[in-house]
Amino acid sequence: MIIMKRTLVKWLVNLTFLLTSIIIALIIGECIVRFLYKGKMCLFPRYTTNAEYGDFSIRVVRSNMEYKHTSIDGVFNFKTNNRGFRNDKDIEYVKKDNEIRILCLGDSHTEGYEVNQHETFSWVTEYLLRQKGLNATAINAGVAGFGNAEELVFLENEGYKYQPDFVVLGFFANDIEDNIRSNIFSVQNDSLKVLNYKHLPGVNIQNFIYKYKIVHFLGENSYLYAFMFNRIWNFYKTKDVSKTKVNQTEFSISTKQAYSQYEYNLTEKIIERMYKFTSKRNIPLIILDLPQENMKSSIPEKLVNHFINNSDTLFYSQDMLQEYMKLSKTYVPHGEHHISSEAHNLLGNKIANFILSYYE
């Protein structure tokens, strides 16, 4: 009996020593990573999961979440509603009497990475319209990593159910790459054809790890965790290169200087189909040409006329250069270089004024 007690005590001492050593090592590792990389790294967890829209399975931001993003530029607070939209209130399919709805589609720029909840252009649009006496609801359906292909899938299979009176598409340069990367659509015989009904990069691992609250805490607060997770994440992404024969890493800035004719054709067909869908339902389509960090247009020059002809209005960045130049910053200077709160405010004003012209 005494021997068993001594063995148990020895085992507990050893276990305590091991756990203490691990904790100390993790604390030291956290301190080292913070010292070396805090000014360069972002704690931007992507809380996405799978959503079934018709026959398609694509990403959506997790519903009923409150979380934060942190970088050297600040702390940015997020809240999602019952549908996973970055909205403060739940939104059901059926509109209220006299309610005007604006459905905002796009990627992380539209979702509002590196700005706070009430600084996105969707929120600014809603606020300004309400100030003018309109019962407006702007639905922020932006999802980080989305391209126009996923936005089209969402619009045709889910977004229209919210009975939008206007649709806003935030177009950014990397959308052209994302349209290829998603491998959802292809152009065959001058028509848009479905290749795959599923595109869920990174969702399976997120569905597993986000069952545990400790992972939420680490993702939002630990630089060591972010350092390790990002490397594992990128490793598994590179294993999928062969699926679409393109780089699987997602960027908030465009990584290409030139595109193939096929890439142009695919984007043209997606935008064209989006406009046909909205026009058939008498829903004006507003396209925002989000400027690149070098202030060039996100829309290649050879596609500009196509975007003009396939939208009810195009806010072309090159026509707005003087307005952008008046801002203290158009892009967040560090982090992942998304458009700034000032740029969001400018775009929100543009959208609101266009919508108001329908009610004057």
pLDDT digits (tens, 9 = 90+) for 35-59: 776 778 899 998 999 999 999 999 9
* Cβ atoms < 10 Å from Cβ of 109: 27
Q: Does a structural domain hold residue 180?
A: yes
Which pLDDT belongs to residue 85? 98
Transcribe 7-40 into DSSP letters: HHHHHHHHHHHHHHHHHHHHHHHHHHHHHHHTTT
pLDDT at 249: 41
In a domain, 223, yes or no: no
Per-residue model confidence (pLDDT) at position 248: 40
Instruction: Say if residue 10 is in the same domain as residue 80.
Output: no
- My answer on whether 133 and 252 are in the same domain is yes
pLDDT of residue 309: 98
pLDDT per residue as tens digits for the range 272-303: 999 999 999 999 999 999 999 999 999 999 99
Report pTM: 0.90
pLDDT at 116: 97
Q: Kindly state the average pLDDT of the residues 242-262.
A: 57
pLDDT score, position 235: 59
- Given a cut of 90, is residue 2 above it in pLDDT? no
Residue 152 and residue 19 share a domain: no
For residue 338, being part of any structural domain is answered with yes
pLDDT (tens digit per residue) in 181-228? 999 999 999 999 999 999 999 899 899 999 999 999 999 998 888 887
Does residue 272 sit in the same domain as residue 350? yes
- Domain holding 31, by residue range, is 1-37
Determine how β-strand 135-140 pairs with β-strand 99-105: parallel
Cα of 177 vs its chain's centroid, Å: 15
Same domain, 29 and 60: no
Residue range 89-109, pLDDT digits in tens: 999 999 999 999 999 999 999
Percent of the chain with pLDDT over 70: 90
| Whole-number pLDDT of residue 256 | 56
- Write out pLDDT tens, residues 105-142: 999 999 999 999 999 999 999 999 999 999 999 999 99
The residue-averaged pLDDT of 345-350 equals: 98
Do 83 and 137 share a domain, yes or no?
yes
At 234 the pLDDT is: 65
Statement: residue 319 has pLDDT above 90: yes
Residues 308 and 348 occupy one common structural domain:
yes
Report the pLDDT value the prediction gives residue 92, as an integer from 0 to 100.
96
Same domain, 274 and 153: yes
pLDDT value at residue 250: 45
227 in any annotated domain: no
Asked if the structure places residue 271 within a domain, the reply is: yes
Buried b or exposed e, range 285-315, using 16+ CB within 10 angstroms = bbbbbbbbbeeebbbbeebeebbeebbbebb
Give how many domains the chain has, as a whole number.
Answer: 2
CATH number of the domain to which 262 belongs = 3.40.50.1110
Backbone phi and psi for residue 187, each to the nearest 5 degrees, phi listed first: -105, 120
Is 1 inside a domain boundary?
yes
Helix ranges restricted to H, the chain: 2-37, 108-111, 121-131, 148-157, 175-182, 203-209, 213-221, 223-238, 241-244, 261-280, 304-309, 321-325, 341-356
pLDDT at 241: 40
Question: Is 212 a domain residue?
Answer: no
28 has pLDDT over 90: no
Determine the pLDDT at residue 246. Answer: 45
For residue range 350-360, list pLDDT tens digits in order: 999 999 999 97
Both 72 and 165 in one domain: the answer is: yes
Query: What confidence category does residue 237 fall into, taking pLDDT thresholds of 50, 70 and 90?
Result: low
Tokens of 293: 């960090």
Q: What is the mean pLDDT of the chain?
A: 90
Does position 244 have pLDDT exceeding 70, yes or no?
A: no
**Residue 228 belongs to some domain of the structure:** no
Say if residue 176 is in the same domain as residue 146. yes
pLDDT at 295 (0 to 100): 95
pLDDT of residue 211: 92
Q: What does the pLDDT average to over 243-254?
A: 46
Question: Does the pLDDT at position 6 exceed 70?
Answer: no
Interval 71-89 mean pLDDT: 97
Same domain, 22 and 148: no
Q: What are the DSSP E strand ranges found in 17-119?
A: 48-53, 56-61, 66-71, 74-79, 99-105
Same domain, 9 and 125: no
What is the arithmetic mean of pLDDT over 56-81?
Answer: 97
